[in-house]
Structure 1
Amino acid sequence: MLTVNAYAATSATEPLVRTTIERRDVGPNDVLIEIRYAGICHSDIHTVRGDWGPQHYPLAPGHEIAGVVTEVGSEVTRHRVGDRVGVGCMVNSCRECEYCRRGEEQYCREGNVQTYGAVDRDGTITQGGYTTHVVVNEDFAVRIPDALSLDAAAPLLCAGITTYSPLRHWNAGPGKKVAVVGLGGLGHMAVKFAHALGAEVTVLSQSLKKREDGLRLGADDYRATSDPETFERLADSFDLIINTVSAGIDISAYLGLLKVDGALVNVGAPAEPLPVNVFSLLLKRRTFAGSAIGGIAETQEMLDFCGEHGIAPEIEVITADQINEAYERVLASDVRYRFVIDIATLN
């Protein structure tokens, strides 16, 4: 076992603290990754605070991991020592069900193994990227293109793939009108991707305070949802709406913005249910859907797409001692647009 430095939650109510955790020995199909950077996702906060159910503590969160391979198992073929790699929201799956076989491990019939707070196949509880090292099966580490810096690449492993996957699945591109609800960690990446894919992009935000940012990131239009006229003027306008917020919104009102056969896809994950008026769906053959990250192959595709098109998240790099402050700032929407922890500050 390898003992490594970490920043972890000890309960649902206490601040995260410096500690150590143990990593398994490198097996034949494993790689040991020295983590250089880890993004802070809203999911980290929900999880450690028990919003999505009870957790095992201590718990080191973090599923936006970028680093360098420092050791490989005897049977590893995908990676070599020195490779720049990333680890996202999952570190294992059954590998045998229909979804795993077609490269959609995120929808594994038995449930994929989440990067932290999950029971791995060997019965241990997984620990995430707020640590100096991680050991993962080679199949769940993806290559980071040289064109991407490691600090900027880290948020792509969740915020990036979470927005790229539904845009691809619902065929965002030339001739399509896409709306993005919320301009935060997820939303700003959705804008960048939709623009790069050739769609016409509108940001729907509570206010216009980030309008300049939205247009700079690639949006063609920016509307305030606090203005009731927004929903009247934009009725029946969009082919696709990506909802990135992790709070309750009036889903039926947003469904009214879709054209016939349009889809509203939720990628944000509020703790409370989102009620829907079924007539908002029936009368225009609209779809209300959800999407969860992407498979390993699609994650690699997304990273390569970012490398080729010069796409990277807007980040603020922090030290490990600033994590608790960063959590409060995330909850206050006081970040543009993703905190990234410099893991060297854990040493």
Structure 2
Amino acid sequence: MTNAEARPAPHVCTEGGLPGPWAEHAGRAPVEIISARDVPLGGPRAMNVRRTLPQRQRSLIGAWCFVDHYGPDDVAATGGMDVAPHPHTGLQTVTWLFEGAVAHLDSGGHSADVLPGQMNLMTAGAGICHSETSDPASGRLHGVQLWLALPEEARHTTERRFERFVPEPVAFPGGDALVFLGSLLGSRSPVKTYTPVVGAELRLAPGAEIDVEADPGFEHGLLVDAGDSVTLEGVHVPKDAVGYTGVGSQTLRIANRGGEPARLVLLGGAPFGEEVLMWWNFLGRSTEEIRRFRQEWENHGERFGRVEGYVGHGGPGRNREQMARIPAPELPQVPMLPRKNPPPHARFDA
């Protein structure tokens, strides 16, 4: 998925320090609430997405640097998702659907129909471009789009990888989980990442509670997709928001206090130890590097390759010059200023 903001803000994300003495509170880990902001995905009937990362409040949870949450969206009413070819550098994209179907095409020659319960991961490295188009016949579209920042030793790779993994459900009293990255609840994903992370969908029945064993070296974020009475460590996490806990927790207590089933996405990872500059769809290390990426995209450079076979919802007769690829926004006229990521512990003044 592309960042559709016309004037995307730069983000410089850095590893924080050690947790402070407030890392324990009343026997449970403190929880910081990260609220979502609405971002239209483009077009006059734009599909709206709810973005929790990056924010001024916090830019990274482990290597997770981008969290978009969308739907349930009536494809017939909004046109659904139609994201023309656009570039990426320095990251991995993770697509996870709850409902619907999305056609993926990329410049590595990969094509796939992304379906619910199937994790699709694309590695950009030095550069890739891809398109994403929802199936007009799918009825509703609902899911999350996630990005992982690549560390220095991996971000220059020219290999354009695309992987798919279908996790088996892991049952526990009152619910189940689908672990699509990393290891959780005795389930391990075989998909390669370049920093230690975890990603899983959790489903909790009304009244259910679970203590999830956690890596104390990880910080975690819990996105609430469905459920009005979800708590993390005893703290209510509103729907569409992320509850954040810093490093140090060996268990995370997650509960559904409501009368309807809850669906959650748990993300975590070791604090990312490098400074990352994020602008539009690019992750780099400096303003000069981002400027070079942008210029190469605008010049149809070989860094990103080409997507073959993209046909958007406008059909074969649409304006090809306008629809064949997404142009990059204008860069800020001033040097991009750092936006530091806070230390990896929950803050109550956020």
- Flag whether TM exceeds 0.5 (same fold): no
Query: TM-score, normalised to structure 2's length?
Result: 0.26
Higher relative helix content: 1
Higher RCO structure (Cα 8 Å, ≥6 apart)? 2
Higher relative strand content: 2
Query: TM-score, normalised to structure 1's length?
Result: 0.26
